[in-house]
Amino acid sequence: MSHSDTVDGGTHVYLKFPFPVELSAMWIYSGHSGSYHSATLASALVPRDGSSYREVGNRKFRERDAQ
């Protein structure tokens, strides 16, 4: 996913796997040449039922690229 301008309210990436998986780590790279629009936080949510989600992780980044 790439943006060439600022985005109000953030962006989202949805991943759906064809089978159950375990999330043990998440890497976010948002350096874009080291100077533009770096990510400041990331969250991970899992489906709870047909229409809601449960947050299983939320972290603010101390650096441009973080785990």
Is the entire prediction scored with pTM above 0.75? no
- Report percent pLDDT > 90 for the chain: 4
Residue of 23, 37, 36 lying closest to 67 (CA atoms):
23
Question: What are 31-57's pLDDT values in tens digits?
Answer: 666 566 677 788 888 888 878 989 988
- The first and second tokens of residue 33, run together, are 């040449």
For the cut 70, the answer to whether the pLDDT of residue 2 exceeds it is no
Give a yes or no: residue 17 inside a domain: no
Q: Give the pLDDT score at 18.
A: 92
Compute the radius of gyration of the chain from its Cα atoms: 14
What's the structural domain count of the chain? 1
CB atoms within 10 A of CB 61: 15
Domain extent at residue 48: 40-67
Give a yes or no: residue 55 inside a domain: yes
For the cut 60, the answer to whether the pLDDT of residue 3 exceeds it is no
